[in-house]
Chains A and B, each alone.
Chain A
Amino acid sequence: MKKFTTNLVSWLDERFDLTPVRNLLQHKKVPAHKYSFWYYLGGVTLFLFFIQLVTGILLLLYYRPGEDSAYESVRFIVTEVKFGWLIRNVHSWSANLLVFFAFLHMFSVFFSKSYKKPRELTWVTGFIILVFSLAFGFSGYLLPWNELAFFATKVGTDIVGILPVVGEKLKVILRGGEDVTGATLSRFFGIHVAILPAIFTFFLVLHLLFIQRQGMHEPEHFNNLPEEKKKYISFFPDFALRDALLWLIVFDILIFLALYFPWELGNKADPFSAAPEGIRPEWYFMFMFQTLKFLPAHIVFIDGELFGVLVFGIAGLVWMLIPFIKIKERPNWKIQPITFIGIVVVVFIVLMTILGYLL
């Protein structure tokens, strides 16, 4: 076996020159310091993306989009197909964990200031990936065609319609008509299984290429150490094995959640029944949902909703472009202004999310 592998590698090497791969495997190093743990979060998110890919493809074997078949086919998957419940639960849970870890990864990068030169574009591509993860979540949410999904989609697409000038057209394009109907389901299905995966993969590959090209970020306190005090571990096999261990742990948690906290299917969507009590979006949209709830119907001249949507849009854009924005550092301040902004953002998101569940 070993001989076969060696032969295969040299056969490939002769034809394609594998030096870059060999260099990467042999020389890539990861700094070892007290915050090293945060290096692993991106990898976990990537792992969960692979799980989404595999379980998503499996669900495609039985799922049938359409007003009269979507709900029924998901019910068929979870009740009739062997291990269908498992595949669906893992897909739902993994989606949620993915978003969770992506957020964690983003904030860890933010607070360790790894987005600074020369890693601006790694940050930007990462943010784009996060936005597309949310789009994945939103479009996938509708696919079982249940009550909650139906009204969440109605509200979500209606918010798009609020946007000035292009809003109304965009809403009709998203919905495939004036209302949320089977046409919307077809479109969301296409978006979820074809359009988003294509765009997502493109930015993911860019993101990973940038990281490979530049290596791991070294935080300031590590950078200030004298050369001989800087400790590293090799990426392969040391870091990769630790990565693998963490993937295994996350996988266990995922299976535990899928087994003990199955994802409910709920009632089938009915466009002619009242929105059920306690309706709310997925937890990762909760902070926005709750903020919109707090806004009055009109703020000065404009619709409260439009105001909220614009503020969130602008805030998101600023957040994405943060590596390019110069914010003065204050050497004698205990907390730097940029860190303070980050803390405010985190506190706001956490607070609004909690309020969303309490109120």
Chain B
Amino acid sequence: MLQSRRKFLNSLLSLSGIAGLAAILYPVFTYMLPPKTTEPKVNLVKAGMASEFPNNSYKIVKFGRKPVILVKTEDGQFKALSAVCTHLECIVQYKSDTHQIWCACHNGIYDLNGRNVSGPPPRPLTQYNVKVVKDEIIITTIG
């Protein structure tokens, strides 16, 4: 009788101990997860004058908080793609000699439509729309 009462009290004690620990650990763990900041949704970004942009070159444009790579091809066409490599999130660049998008971190290569051609990238780069209105380059999301 005494034994089982002791057993009961012991398990009650360890149970409340675990509950107490959880009550401490839960807030601590939740505290470590940063709160989600609501970012203003960006659908359109102006990226300078088309005539001032040299052929066969690129620049990285801020699209809200995301980097977008804007390329002007040799024949004067504009291409805009997400600049975040789908492999490990490095920022890609345009190689003017091979006319490809290249990631310096692990040698990932994409074509100008964002397709992953070689190296470790598992997915293509997201495409953006580019329009030139009155010489102004305008990048918009697709869809």
Contact = CB atoms under 8 A, between A and B. Distances in A.
B90 A176 contact: no
B89 interface: yes
B34 A304 contact: no
B72 to A, nearest CB: 16
A277 B106 CA distance: 10
A272 B70 CA distance: 12
Given A151-B105, A155-B90, A293-B107, A305 B120 contact: yes
Interface stretch (B40-48, B60-68, B73-81, B126-134): B60-68
Contacts of B87: 305
Nearest to A277: B104
Contacts of B107: 293
B33 A172 contact: yes
A271 interface: yes
A158 B120 CA distance: 14
A298 B122 contact: yes
Interface string A273-308: 111111100000000000011011110000111000
11 contacts: A151-B91, A155-B105, A173-B33, A273-B60, A274-B92, A274-B93, A275-B91, A275-B93, A275-B103, A279-B90, A295-B120
B125 interface: no
Interface string B3-41: 000000000000000000000000000001110010000
Given A298-B122, A303-B122, A159 B88 contact: yes
Nearest to B121: A297
Size band of the interface chain A makes with B: 20 to 34
A145 B32 CA distance: 22
A309 B90 CA distance: 18
A275 B91 CA distance: 5
Nearest to A279: B104
A293 B32 CA distance: 32
A9 to B, nearest CB: 45
B93 to A, nearest CB: 3
A279 B34 contact: no
Interface of A: 151, 154-155, 158-159, 169, 172-173, 176-177, 179, 183, 271-279, 292-293, 295-298, 303-305
A276 B32 contact: no
B50 interface: no
* Most chain B CB inside 10 Å of its own CB: which residue of A155, A176, A296: A155
Given A177-B37, A274-B69, A279-B90, 4 more contacts: A151-B91, A159-B88, A274-B104, A297-B121
* 10 nearest A-B pairs in the assembled complex, by CB-CB distance: A274-B93, A275-B90, A275-B104, A158-B88, A155-B88, A297-B122, A274-B91, A158-B89, A173-B32, A177-B34
Contact of B67 (A271, A298, A304): A271
B83 interface: yes
A172 B32 CA distance: 9
A297 B122 CA distance: 6
Contacts of A296: 120
Contacts of A183: 34
* Most chain B CB inside 10 Å of its own CB: which residue of A155, A159, A275, A297: A275
B88 to A, nearest CB: 4
Nearest to A359: B107
Given A154-B88, A159-B88, A173-B32, A293 B120 contact: yes
* Most chain A CB inside 10 Å of its own CB: which residue of B105, B106, B107, B121: B105
Contacts of B62: 272
Nearest to B69: A274
Interface string B79-116: 00001000111111100000000011111000000001
A67 B105 CA distance: 22
Nearest to A296: B120
B90 A151 contact: yes
A303 to B, nearest CB: 6
A272 B60 CA distance: 6
B89 A155 contact: yes
A32 B67 CA distance: 62
B90 A154 contact: yes
